Structure 1
Amino acid sequence: MDLFARVRQRGDFSVPITRPSDWGLPAEGLPGQVIWVWPEMAFGFLYKIQALARLLGRDWNAAMPSNDWQIVHFFGFDNSFYHALLYPALYTEVFSHWTPRIRYHVNEFYLLDGQKFSTSRGYAVWGKEVLGPKTVDIVRLHLGLTRPEGERTNFTLDALRRTENEIFQRIWLSWLDRLDQEIKQDFGGACPTQATGLRPTAPSLLG
Protein backbone atom coordinates (compact mmCIF):
# COMPACT_ATOMS: atom_id res chain seq x y z
CA MET A 1 0.00 0.00 0.00
CA ASP A 2 2.92 2.33 0.72
CA LEU A 3 4.38 1.59 -2.71
CA PHE A 4 1.03 2.35 -4.36
CA ALA A 5 0.74 5.66 -2.49
CA ARG A 6 4.26 6.74 -3.51
CA VAL A 7 3.65 5.86 -7.18
CA ARG A 8 0.44 7.91 -7.18
CA GLN A 9 2.31 10.90 -5.78
CA ARG A 10 4.46 10.95 -8.90
CA GLY A 11 1.50 12.03 -11.02
CA ASP A 12 1.75 10.87 -14.64
CA PHE A 13 3.58 7.59 -14.72
CA SER A 14 4.58 5.42 -17.67
CA VAL A 15 6.69 2.34 -18.24
CA PRO A 16 8.10 0.88 -21.48
CA ILE A 17 6.37 -2.14 -22.95
CA THR A 18 9.26 -3.05 -25.25
CA ARG A 19 13.04 -3.00 -24.94
CA PRO A 20 16.00 -3.27 -27.34
CA SER A 21 17.05 -6.92 -27.57
CA ASP A 22 17.27 -9.83 -29.97
CA TRP A 23 16.03 -12.32 -27.33
CA GLY A 24 12.32 -12.52 -26.56
CA LEU A 25 9.02 -12.01 -28.33
CA PRO A 26 9.56 -9.60 -31.26
CA ALA A 27 7.57 -6.36 -30.97
CA GLU A 28 5.54 -6.01 -34.17
CA GLY A 29 6.50 -2.91 -36.16
CA LEU A 30 9.51 -2.16 -33.94
CA PRO A 31 12.66 -3.76 -35.43
CA GLY A 32 15.25 -4.66 -32.82
CA GLN A 33 12.67 -4.47 -30.03
CA VAL A 34 11.09 -7.28 -27.98
CA ILE A 35 8.21 -7.33 -25.52
CA TRP A 36 9.47 -6.53 -22.03
CA VAL A 37 9.37 -9.66 -19.89
CA TRP A 38 6.97 -8.34 -17.22
CA PRO A 39 4.08 -7.46 -19.57
CA GLU A 40 4.76 -10.76 -21.34
CA MET A 41 4.37 -12.58 -18.02
CA ALA A 42 1.15 -10.74 -17.17
CA PHE A 43 -0.63 -12.09 -20.22
CA GLY A 44 1.25 -15.37 -20.04
CA PHE A 45 -0.66 -16.08 -16.82
CA LEU A 46 -3.94 -15.77 -18.70
CA TYR A 47 -2.81 -18.15 -21.43
CA LYS A 48 -1.73 -20.62 -18.76
CA ILE A 49 -5.28 -20.48 -17.40
CA GLN A 50 -6.55 -21.23 -20.91
CA ALA A 51 -4.10 -24.15 -21.21
CA LEU A 52 -5.29 -25.49 -17.87
CA ALA A 53 -8.86 -25.26 -19.14
CA ARG A 54 -8.04 -27.67 -21.96
CA LEU A 55 -6.90 -30.27 -19.42
CA LEU A 56 -10.01 -29.77 -17.27
CA GLY A 57 -12.51 -29.63 -20.10
CA ARG A 58 -13.46 -26.01 -19.34
CA ASP A 59 -14.03 -23.14 -21.76
CA TRP A 60 -11.76 -20.50 -20.17
CA ASN A 61 -10.46 -18.09 -22.79
CA ALA A 62 -7.33 -15.96 -22.33
CA ALA A 63 -8.82 -13.30 -24.62
CA MET A 64 -12.01 -13.11 -22.53
CA PRO A 65 -11.06 -13.40 -18.84
CA SER A 66 -14.00 -13.86 -16.50
CA ASN A 67 -14.84 -12.03 -13.29
CA ASP A 68 -15.13 -15.35 -11.46
CA TRP A 69 -11.42 -16.08 -12.01
CA GLN A 70 -9.22 -15.83 -8.93
CA ILE A 71 -5.52 -15.23 -9.52
CA VAL A 72 -3.10 -15.82 -6.64
CA HIS A 73 0.45 -14.44 -6.85
CA PHE A 74 3.36 -15.62 -4.68
CA PHE A 75 6.38 -13.35 -5.00
CA GLY A 76 9.22 -11.60 -3.24
CA PHE A 77 8.93 -8.07 -1.92
CA ASP A 78 11.26 -6.75 -4.65
CA ASN A 79 8.69 -7.73 -7.32
CA SER A 80 5.81 -5.88 -5.65
CA PHE A 81 5.56 -3.19 -8.35
CA TYR A 82 5.09 -5.65 -11.19
CA HIS A 83 2.55 -7.92 -9.52
CA ALA A 84 0.54 -5.40 -7.53
CA LEU A 85 0.59 -2.35 -9.83
CA LEU A 86 1.76 -3.13 -13.37
CA TYR A 87 -0.29 -6.28 -13.97
CA PRO A 88 -3.66 -4.82 -12.86
CA ALA A 89 -2.96 -1.68 -14.91
CA LEU A 90 -2.22 -3.75 -18.03
CA TYR A 91 -5.32 -5.89 -17.53
CA THR A 92 -7.50 -2.78 -17.09
CA GLU A 93 -6.07 -1.22 -20.24
CA VAL A 94 -6.73 -4.29 -22.40
CA PHE A 95 -9.92 -5.76 -20.88
CA SER A 96 -12.50 -3.06 -20.14
CA HIS A 97 -15.09 -5.69 -19.16
CA TRP A 98 -12.91 -7.43 -16.59
CA THR A 99 -12.28 -6.57 -12.96
CA PRO A 100 -9.43 -8.93 -12.01
CA ARG A 101 -9.56 -10.58 -8.60
CA ILE A 102 -5.97 -11.02 -7.43
CA ARG A 103 -4.63 -12.16 -4.07
CA TYR A 104 -1.05 -11.48 -3.02
CA HIS A 105 1.29 -13.53 -0.84
CA VAL A 106 4.50 -11.57 -0.40
CA ASN A 107 7.75 -12.73 1.17
CA GLU A 108 10.29 -10.30 2.55
CA PHE A 109 14.00 -10.57 1.78
CA TYR A 110 15.97 -13.50 3.18
CA LEU A 111 19.47 -12.17 3.80
CA LEU A 112 22.79 -13.99 3.93
CA ASP A 113 25.01 -12.73 6.74
CA GLY A 114 23.12 -9.45 6.65
CA GLN A 115 23.35 -8.94 2.88
CA LYS A 116 21.03 -9.75 -0.01
CA PHE A 117 21.58 -13.12 -1.68
CA SER A 118 23.05 -12.67 -5.15
CA THR A 119 23.75 -15.67 -7.34
CA SER A 120 25.12 -13.37 -10.05
CA ARG A 121 27.85 -12.22 -7.65
CA GLY A 122 28.38 -15.73 -6.30
CA TYR A 123 27.10 -14.56 -2.93
CA ALA A 124 24.92 -17.51 -1.98
CA VAL A 125 24.78 -20.78 -0.11
CA TRP A 126 24.89 -23.52 -2.72
CA GLY A 127 22.85 -26.64 -2.14
CA LYS A 128 25.85 -28.97 -2.36
CA GLU A 129 27.43 -27.08 0.55
CA VAL A 130 24.67 -27.88 3.04
CA LEU A 131 22.47 -30.61 1.57
CA GLY A 132 22.96 -34.34 1.86
CA PRO A 133 20.98 -37.45 2.85
CA LYS A 134 21.58 -36.68 6.55
CA THR A 135 21.06 -32.92 6.44
CA VAL A 136 18.06 -32.32 4.19
CA ASP A 137 15.60 -32.44 7.11
CA ILE A 138 17.80 -30.09 9.14
CA VAL A 139 17.91 -27.53 6.33
CA ARG A 140 14.17 -27.84 5.76
CA LEU A 141 13.51 -27.30 9.47
CA HIS A 142 15.84 -24.30 9.67
CA LEU A 143 14.33 -22.63 6.61
CA GLY A 144 10.87 -23.17 8.06
CA LEU A 145 11.89 -21.56 11.33
CA THR A 146 13.66 -18.57 9.76
CA ARG A 147 11.56 -17.93 6.63
CA PRO A 148 10.99 -14.22 5.83
CA GLU A 149 7.22 -14.56 5.67
CA GLY A 150 6.25 -11.36 7.46
CA GLU A 151 9.57 -9.61 8.07
CA ARG A 152 13.11 -9.57 6.77
CA THR A 153 15.20 -12.40 8.23
CA ASN A 154 18.81 -13.51 8.03
CA PHE A 155 20.56 -16.80 7.24
CA THR A 156 23.92 -17.75 8.69
CA LEU A 157 25.72 -21.07 8.71
CA ASP A 158 26.26 -20.70 12.47
CA ALA A 159 22.49 -20.41 13.00
CA LEU A 160 21.96 -23.48 10.82
CA ARG A 161 24.39 -25.43 13.01
CA ARG A 162 22.58 -24.24 16.15
CA THR A 163 19.29 -25.48 14.72
CA GLU A 164 20.95 -28.83 14.02
CA ASN A 165 22.47 -29.21 17.49
CA GLU A 166 19.97 -27.51 19.77
CA ILE A 167 16.64 -28.27 18.08
CA PHE A 168 17.05 -31.16 15.65
CA GLN A 169 19.47 -33.28 17.68
CA ARG A 170 18.72 -32.33 21.29
CA ILE A 171 14.93 -31.95 21.03
CA TRP A 172 13.54 -33.83 18.03
CA LEU A 173 15.88 -36.80 17.78
CA SER A 174 15.93 -37.23 21.56
CA TRP A 175 12.14 -37.31 21.56
CA LEU A 176 12.06 -39.81 18.70
CA ASP A 177 14.58 -42.02 20.50
CA ARG A 178 12.40 -42.02 23.63
CA LEU A 179 9.33 -42.79 21.55
CA ASP A 180 11.16 -45.64 19.80
CA GLN A 181 12.16 -47.13 23.16
CA GLU A 182 8.61 -46.89 24.47
CA ILE A 183 7.19 -48.61 21.40
CA LYS A 184 9.76 -51.40 21.68
CA GLN A 185 9.23 -51.81 25.41
CA ASP A 186 5.43 -51.63 25.57
CA PHE A 187 4.27 -52.69 22.11
CA GLY A 188 6.87 -55.13 20.83
CA GLY A 189 8.24 -52.68 18.28
CA ALA A 190 4.95 -52.36 16.36
CA CYS A 191 3.50 -48.88 16.14
CA PRO A 192 0.25 -48.97 18.12
CA THR A 193 -3.08 -47.51 17.16
CA GLN A 194 -4.59 -44.67 19.17
CA ALA A 195 -6.89 -47.15 20.88
CA THR A 196 -3.92 -48.68 22.72
CA GLY A 197 -3.51 -45.57 24.81
CA LEU A 198 -0.06 -44.39 23.66
CA ARG A 199 -0.15 -40.61 23.52
CA PRO A 200 3.43 -39.31 23.49
CA THR A 201 3.87 -35.61 24.10
CA ALA A 202 5.32 -33.86 21.08
CA PRO A 203 8.53 -31.88 21.67
CA SER A 204 8.45 -28.12 21.96
CA LEU A 205 10.76 -26.15 19.68
CA LEU A 206 11.45 -23.96 22.70
CA GLY A 207 12.84 -26.93 24.58
Structure 2
Amino acid sequence: MIVVLQNNCEPEKVDHLENWLENLGIKVHVFKGEFQTVFGLIGDTSGIDIGMLEGLDVVKSVKRISEPYKKANRQFHPEDSVITAGGVEIGGGEFHFIAGPCSIESEAQIIEIAKKVKAAGASFLRGGAYKPRTSPYDFQGLKDLGISLLVEAKRETGLPIVTEIMNANHLRYFEEVDIIQVGARNMQNFELLKELGHTNKTILLKRGLSSTIKELLMSAEY
Protein backbone atom coordinates (compact mmCIF):
# COMPACT_ATOMS: atom_id res chain seq x y z
CA MET A 1 0.00 0.00 0.00
CA ILE A 2 1.17 3.54 -0.72
CA VAL A 3 -0.02 6.69 1.00
CA VAL A 4 0.62 9.95 -0.84
CA LEU A 5 0.71 12.94 1.50
CA GLN A 6 -0.51 16.44 0.81
CA ASN A 7 2.08 19.04 -0.12
CA ASN A 8 3.45 21.19 2.72
CA CYS A 9 2.06 19.03 5.53
CA GLU A 10 2.87 19.96 9.09
CA PRO A 11 5.82 17.75 10.16
CA GLU A 12 4.12 16.95 13.48
CA LYS A 13 1.08 15.50 11.70
CA VAL A 14 3.28 13.47 9.36
CA ASP A 15 5.23 12.05 12.31
CA HIS A 16 1.98 11.26 14.13
CA LEU A 17 0.64 9.33 11.13
CA GLU A 18 3.91 7.42 10.74
CA ASN A 19 3.95 6.47 14.43
CA TRP A 20 0.30 5.39 14.32
CA LEU A 21 0.93 3.10 11.36
CA GLU A 22 4.02 1.59 12.97
CA ASN A 23 2.03 0.89 16.14
CA LEU A 24 -0.25 -1.24 13.95
CA GLY A 25 2.76 -3.40 13.10
CA ILE A 26 3.25 -1.84 9.67
CA LYS A 27 6.75 -1.03 8.42
CA VAL A 28 6.76 2.47 6.95
CA HIS A 29 9.27 3.53 4.30
CA VAL A 30 9.26 7.29 3.79
CA PHE A 31 10.18 8.63 0.35
CA LYS A 32 10.61 12.40 0.30
CA GLY A 33 10.68 13.90 -3.17
CA GLU A 34 11.09 17.49 -4.21
CA PHE A 35 7.35 18.04 -4.43
CA GLN A 36 5.78 15.05 -2.70
CA THR A 37 6.17 12.70 0.26
CA VAL A 38 5.04 9.09 -0.03
CA PHE A 39 4.65 6.43 2.66
CA GLY A 40 5.32 2.90 1.46
CA LEU A 41 3.56 0.47 3.80
CA ILE A 42 4.95 -3.05 4.08
CA GLY A 43 3.20 -5.73 6.07
CA ASP A 44 -0.39 -6.84 6.59
CA THR A 45 -2.40 -3.78 5.57
CA SER A 46 -5.69 -5.66 5.17
CA GLY A 47 -7.03 -4.22 8.42
CA ILE A 48 -6.40 -0.60 7.45
CA ASP A 49 -9.51 1.37 6.51
CA ILE A 50 -8.60 3.16 3.28
CA GLY A 51 -11.57 5.51 3.61
CA MET A 52 -10.45 6.56 7.06
CA LEU A 53 -6.90 7.19 5.83
CA GLU A 54 -8.11 9.22 2.86
CA GLY A 55 -10.19 11.31 5.24
CA LEU A 56 -7.13 12.59 7.08
CA ASP A 57 -6.17 16.13 6.15
CA VAL A 58 -2.52 15.16 5.60
CA VAL A 59 -3.38 12.39 3.10
CA LYS A 60 -3.84 13.09 -0.60
CA SER A 61 -4.49 9.53 -1.82
CA VAL A 62 -4.16 5.86 -0.85
CA LYS A 63 -3.57 2.95 -3.19
CA ARG A 64 -3.05 -0.76 -2.75
CA ILE A 65 -0.40 -2.27 -5.01
CA SER A 66 -0.19 -5.89 -6.04
CA GLU A 67 3.48 -6.15 -7.03
CA PRO A 68 5.58 -7.99 -4.43
CA TYR A 69 8.53 -5.60 -4.85
CA LYS A 70 8.09 -2.38 -2.90
CA LYS A 71 11.32 -0.41 -2.59
CA ALA A 72 12.09 -0.91 -6.28
CA ASN A 73 8.58 0.15 -7.27
CA ARG A 74 7.95 3.44 -9.09
CA GLN A 75 4.64 3.76 -7.29
CA PHE A 76 6.51 4.04 -3.99
CA HIS A 77 8.89 6.71 -5.26
CA PRO A 78 7.75 8.15 -8.61
CA GLU A 79 10.73 10.49 -8.88
CA ASP A 80 14.00 9.32 -10.43
CA SER A 81 16.54 7.83 -8.05
CA VAL A 82 19.73 9.86 -7.74
CA ILE A 83 22.62 8.13 -5.96
CA THR A 84 25.95 9.59 -4.91
CA ALA A 85 28.89 7.18 -4.85
CA GLY A 86 32.45 8.35 -4.30
CA GLY A 87 31.35 11.94 -4.81
CA VAL A 88 29.85 11.15 -8.23
CA GLU A 89 26.12 11.63 -8.80
CA ILE A 90 24.41 8.80 -10.68
CA GLY A 91 20.96 9.42 -12.15
CA GLY A 92 19.03 12.61 -12.67
CA GLY A 93 20.23 12.91 -16.24
CA GLU A 94 23.87 12.13 -15.48
CA PHE A 95 25.58 9.39 -17.51
CA HIS A 96 28.82 7.73 -16.46
CA PHE A 97 31.23 5.08 -17.71
CA ILE A 98 32.66 2.40 -15.42
CA ALA A 99 35.82 0.92 -16.91
CA GLY A 100 38.79 -1.21 -15.96
CA PRO A 101 40.36 -4.66 -16.25
CA CYS A 102 38.57 -7.96 -15.81
CA SER A 103 41.19 -8.99 -13.25
CA ILE A 104 43.63 -7.00 -11.13
CA GLU A 105 47.02 -8.59 -11.73
CA SER A 106 49.59 -6.19 -10.27
CA GLU A 107 50.03 -2.69 -8.86
CA ALA A 108 51.69 -1.44 -12.04
CA GLN A 109 48.91 -2.89 -14.20
CA ILE A 110 45.96 -1.42 -12.29
CA ILE A 111 47.53 2.03 -11.85
CA GLU A 112 48.48 2.26 -15.53
CA ILE A 113 44.96 1.24 -16.57
CA ALA A 114 43.41 3.62 -14.02
CA LYS A 115 45.27 6.56 -15.54
CA LYS A 116 44.17 5.58 -19.05
CA VAL A 117 40.58 5.07 -17.91
CA LYS A 118 40.53 8.52 -16.34
CA ALA A 119 42.10 10.12 -19.42
CA ALA A 120 39.43 8.48 -21.58
CA GLY A 121 36.69 10.14 -19.54
CA ALA A 122 35.40 7.33 -17.33
CA SER A 123 33.96 8.27 -13.94
CA PHE A 124 34.65 5.00 -12.11
CA LEU A 125 37.44 2.44 -12.08
CA ARG A 126 36.47 -1.20 -11.81
CA GLY A 127 38.66 -4.25 -11.39
CA GLY A 128 38.13 -7.85 -10.37
CA ALA A 129 39.78 -8.91 -7.11
CA TYR A 130 37.58 -11.94 -6.39
CA LYS A 131 36.92 -13.84 -9.60
CA PRO A 132 34.17 -16.48 -9.85
CA ARG A 133 35.44 -19.16 -12.21
CA THR A 134 33.77 -22.23 -13.66
CA SER A 135 37.00 -24.19 -13.25
CA PRO A 136 38.57 -24.48 -9.78
CA TYR A 137 41.97 -24.54 -11.50
CA ASP A 138 41.66 -21.12 -13.13
CA PHE A 139 42.99 -17.87 -11.65
CA GLN A 140 40.62 -16.82 -8.84
CA GLY A 141 41.91 -13.26 -8.44
CA LEU A 142 44.26 -11.59 -5.96
CA LYS A 143 41.40 -11.34 -3.44
CA ASP A 144 42.02 -8.85 -0.58
CA LEU A 145 45.42 -7.94 -2.03
CA GLY A 146 43.65 -7.04 -5.26
CA ILE A 147 41.31 -4.70 -3.38
CA SER A 148 44.31 -3.04 -1.71
CA LEU A 149 45.84 -2.43 -5.15
CA LEU A 150 42.53 -1.05 -6.41
CA VAL A 151 42.42 1.34 -3.45
CA GLU A 152 45.97 2.43 -4.28
CA ALA A 153 44.87 3.20 -7.85
CA LYS A 154 41.98 5.21 -6.40
CA ARG A 155 44.40 7.30 -4.36
CA GLU A 156 46.67 7.75 -7.36
CA THR A 157 43.93 8.95 -9.74
CA GLY A 158 41.03 10.09 -7.55
CA LEU A 159 38.65 7.74 -9.36
CA PRO A 160 35.95 6.03 -7.25
CA ILE A 161 36.24 2.24 -7.43
CA VAL A 162 33.94 -0.69 -8.17
CA THR A 163 34.63 -4.35 -7.50
CA GLU A 164 32.72 -7.59 -7.05
CA ILE A 165 31.99 -9.32 -3.76
CA MET A 166 31.37 -13.06 -3.53
CA ASN A 167 31.10 -13.73 0.19
CA ALA A 168 29.71 -11.69 3.09
CA ASN A 169 32.79 -12.62 5.12
CA HIS A 170 34.85 -10.43 2.77
CA LEU A 171 32.92 -7.25 3.60
CA ARG A 172 35.67 -5.99 5.90
CA TYR A 173 37.93 -5.60 2.86
CA PHE A 174 35.39 -3.38 1.07
CA GLU A 175 35.42 -0.39 3.42
CA GLU A 176 37.13 1.87 0.86
CA VAL A 177 35.22 0.49 -2.12
CA ASP A 178 32.66 2.99 -3.44
CA ILE A 179 30.36 0.60 -5.31
CA ILE A 180 30.07 -3.10 -4.48
CA GLN A 181 29.18 -5.25 -7.46
CA VAL A 182 27.05 -8.38 -7.07
CA GLY A 183 27.70 -10.61 -10.05
CA ALA A 184 25.12 -12.51 -12.08
CA ARG A 185 25.94 -15.77 -10.28
CA ASN A 186 25.20 -14.18 -6.90
CA MET A 187 22.04 -12.29 -7.83
CA GLN A 188 20.05 -14.80 -5.77
CA ASN A 189 22.61 -15.37 -3.03
CA PHE A 190 20.09 -14.14 -0.50
CA GLU A 191 22.29 -14.37 2.59
CA LEU A 192 24.87 -12.17 0.85
CA LEU A 193 22.14 -9.74 -0.24
CA LYS A 194 20.84 -9.50 3.33
CA GLU A 195 24.29 -8.54 4.63
CA LEU A 196 24.76 -5.97 1.87
CA GLY A 197 21.37 -4.51 2.76
CA HIS A 198 22.76 -3.60 6.18
CA THR A 199 25.59 -1.53 4.69
CA ASN A 200 25.51 2.06 3.46
CA LYS A 201 27.29 1.10 0.25
CA THR A 202 25.96 1.60 -3.26
CA ILE A 203 25.29 -1.83 -4.80
CA LEU A 204 25.62 -2.66 -8.49
CA LEU A 205 23.35 -5.69 -8.90
CA LYS A 206 23.75 -7.66 -12.10
CA ARG A 207 20.89 -9.69 -13.52
CA GLY A 208 21.36 -13.43 -13.08
CA LEU A 209 21.56 -15.92 -15.90
CA SER A 210 18.02 -16.57 -17.22
CA SER A 211 16.53 -14.52 -14.36
CA THR A 212 13.31 -12.63 -14.97
CA ILE A 213 12.89 -8.91 -14.38
CA LYS A 214 10.67 -9.72 -11.40
CA GLU A 215 13.39 -11.93 -9.89
CA LEU A 216 15.94 -9.14 -10.36
CA LEU A 217 13.66 -6.62 -8.65
CA MET A 218 12.97 -8.98 -5.77
CA SER A 219 16.73 -9.41 -5.26
CA ALA A 220 17.05 -5.62 -5.27
CA GLU A 221 14.52 -5.46 -2.41
CA TYR A 222 17.12 -6.99 -0.10
Shorter-chain TM-score range? under 0.3
Answer 1 or 2: which has greater helix percent: 1
Higher relative contact order (CA 8 A, sep 6+): 2
Answer 1 or 2: which has greater strand percent: 2
State the TM-score, normalizing by the size of structure 2: 0.20
State the TM-score, normalizing by the size of structure 1: 0.21
